């Protein structure tokens, strides 16, 4: 799920077929002609009878539409979230869906409010689309209230960023940090940029409408430092993604998060050393009682020794304490800090919004409220207004 029909060959009949809406269609014996007919069939609009079926069928119809009419990243955004909802309610029909189904689904997630909100947005968007397309007569979750998203308030100081770079031994990750700090680009832009997107003459990246957020042309302007990083990586990777890890694989969101988590652990460990903190023997003993007593060693399951249990407990507790003491950074935090820096340096909000790629300049005030936490800056601006 979702299932997209593909041609298949029946050896006993020596003929190609494709199954669409539970009906097998004969495409003929010739492979090239069969695939030509297949692509023609898939490009033609066809009536879908989904309202009387499961909600999964409705989600599948929405994802099929997304795949055809929206950017691949948008399709993946909805797919990854709607599949989770479909697994939760595999037998539910659209007429049976109620707001409490979605509410219980969201409440059961151990994630942030922002992430929970995005999951809710995905199913609400699906049902709005279904109503507009005529698959359903009424949207049963139209009045569902979603969790409020948090405001972006974390700002990284110059000295913090220098320390962050000092703790980053991986040069590949350093390049990603520097470009984000210098340009304020979105993670989805830095992780997807290729040499074909680069306009060296005008020091910028250009993403076509089909490749950018909001289906609008997106331009990322490069400082001299960001340009140097971009040029260097273009020489290494003339084809494919520019930003890759030490193994030559393009950075994924999970890989970036893991890299930031390693830095968080280093920061937390250093803070533990500075404060002379350590996990106590009582904490270790209490934690040991909840560990699994057995494990697989070299393919053989056996009981853990007391020393092994103690080592495991101490390691996990130390890791947990280091996470609590260390700051967790992200590429989005660097992007928000970049906007904050531009505003404090006197760049007008409209220009900052344009450079950040916002379609609505009011987003700066609604979401990126960093300056409201800086009394020194606000006082300076107030004095300017009075002079």
Nearest to 74 by CA among 177, 180, 215, 202: 215
Contact 336, 366 (CB under 8 A): no
361 in a structural domain: no
281 in a structural domain: yes
DSSP state of 91: T
Distance from C-alpha of 303 to C-alpha of 301, rounded to nearest angstrom: 7
pLDDT score at 348: 82
Q: Rounded to 5 degrees, what are φ and ψ at 219?
A: -120, 130
pLDDT score at 386: 59
Same structural domain, 34 and 68: no
pLDDT score at 286: 93
Distance from C-alpha of 141 to C-alpha of 103, rounded to nearest angstrom: 10
Same structural domain, 17 and 69: no
Which residue segment(s) compose the domain that 105 sits in?
Answer: 55-133
pLDDT score at 217: 86
DSSP state of 301: E
- Tokens of residue 51, six digits: 């309202």
- Dihedral angle at the C-alpha atoms of 267, 270, 271, 274, nearest 10 degrees? -160
pLDDT score at 369: 54
CB neighbours of 144 closer than 8 A, spacing ≥ 6? 99, 102, 103, 120, 124
- Tokens of residue 203, six digits: 């020091």
Same structural domain, 16 and 64: no
Contact 59, 2 (CB under 8 A): yes
Which of 77, 101, 133 is a domain's end point? Answer: 133
**In 3-state terms, what secondary structure has residue 9?**
strand
Q: Which residues share a beta bridge with 25? A: 18
Number of CB atoms found within 10 A of residue 93's CB: 16
pLDDT score at 70: 82
Round the average pLDDT of the chain to a whole number and report it. 86
Which of 133, 161, 194 is a domain's end point? Answer: 133
Contact 186, 335 (CB under 8 A): yes
The three-point CA angle 258-261-264 to 5° equals: 160
266 in a structural domain: yes
Distance from C-alpha of 165 to C-alpha of 184, rounded to nearest angstrom: 17
128 in a structural domain: yes
Burial 22-59 (b: 16+ CB within 10 A, else e): eeeeebeeeeeebeebbeeeeeeeeebebbeebbbbbb
Distance from C-alpha of 141 to C-alpha of 131, rounded to nearest angstrom: 11
pLDDT score at 48: 46
221 in a structural domain: no
pLDDT score at 248: 93
Same structural domain, 36 and 61: no
Domains in the chain: how many in total? 3
DSSP state of 25: E
Q: Which residues of the chain have pLDDT under 50?
A: 1-2, 47-51
Distance from C-alpha of 74 to C-alpha of 367, rounded to nearest angstrom: 21
Same structural domain, 66 and 90: yes
pLDDT score at 371: 55
Which of 77, 104, 133 is a domain's end point? Answer: 133
pLDDT score at 103: 94
Same structural domain, 71 and 124: yes
13 in a structural domain: yes
pLDDT score at 97: 93
Distance from C-alpha of 205 to C-alpha of 190, rounded to nearest angstrom: 10
pLDDT score at 381: 60
Distance from C-alpha of 123 to C-alpha of 302, rounded to nearest angstrom: 46
pLDDT score at 364: 66
pLDDT score at 51: 45
138 in a structural domain: no
- Side-chain-side CA neighbours of residue 250 (13 Å): 15
- Side-chain-side CA neighbours of residue 286 (13 Å): 6
Q: Note the pLDDT tens digit of each residue in 273-293.
A: 999 999 999 999 999 999 999
pLDDT score at 192: 93
103 in a structural domain: yes
Same structural domain, 275 and 311: yes
Q: Which residues share a beta bridge with 198? A: 205
Same structural domain, 88 and 35: no
Q: Rounded to 5 degrees, what are φ and ψ at 5?
A: -65, 140
């Amino acid at each position: 799920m979702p299932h997209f029909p593909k041609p298949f060959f029946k050896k006993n009949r020596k003929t190609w077929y494709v199954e669409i809406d539970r009906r097998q269609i004969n495409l003929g014996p010739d492979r090239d002609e069969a695939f030509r007919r297949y692509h023609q069939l898939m490009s033609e609009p066809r009536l879908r009878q989904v309202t009387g079926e499961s909600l999964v069928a409705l989600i599948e119809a929405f994802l099929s539409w997304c795949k055809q009419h929206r950017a691949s990243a948008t399709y993946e955004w909805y797919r990854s979230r709607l599949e989770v909802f479909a697994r939760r309610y595999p037998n539910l029909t659209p007429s049976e869906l109620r707001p409490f189904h979605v509410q219980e689904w969201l409440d059961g997630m151990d994630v942030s409010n922002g992430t929970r909100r995005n999951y809710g947005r995905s199913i609400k968007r699906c049902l709005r689309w279904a109503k507009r397309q005529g698959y359903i007569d009424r949207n049963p979750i139209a009045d569902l209230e979603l969790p409020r998203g948090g405001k972006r308030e974390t700002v990284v100081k110059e000295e913090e960023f220098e320390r962050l770079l000092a703790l980053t031994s991986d040069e590949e990750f350093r390049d990603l940090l520097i470009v984000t700090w210098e340009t304020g680009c979105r993670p989805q832009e830095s992780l997807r940029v290729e040499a074909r997107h680069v306009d060296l003459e005008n020091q910028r990246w250009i993403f076509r409408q089909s490749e950018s957020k909001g289906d609008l042309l997106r331009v990322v302007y490069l400082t001299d430092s960001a340009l140097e990083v971009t040029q260097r990586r273009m020489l290494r990777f003339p084809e494919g993604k520019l930003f890759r890890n030490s193994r030559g694989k393009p950075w994924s969101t999970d890989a970036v998060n893991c890299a930031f988590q390693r830095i968080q652990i280093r920061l937390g460990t250093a803070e533990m050393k500075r404060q002379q903190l350590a996990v106590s023997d009582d904490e270790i003993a209490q934690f040991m009682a909840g560990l699994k007593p057995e494990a697989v060693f070299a393919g053989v399951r056996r009981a853990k020794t007391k020393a092994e249990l103690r080592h495991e407990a101490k390691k996990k507790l130390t890791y947990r304490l280091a996470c609590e003491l260390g700051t967790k950074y992200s590429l989005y935090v660097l992007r928000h800090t970049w906007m904050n820096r531009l505003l404090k340096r006197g760049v007008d909000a409209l220009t900052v919004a344009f450079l950040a790629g916002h379609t609505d300049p009011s987003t700066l005030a609604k979401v990126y409220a960093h300056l409201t936490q800086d009394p020194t800056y606000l006082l300076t601006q107030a004095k300017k207004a009075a002079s």
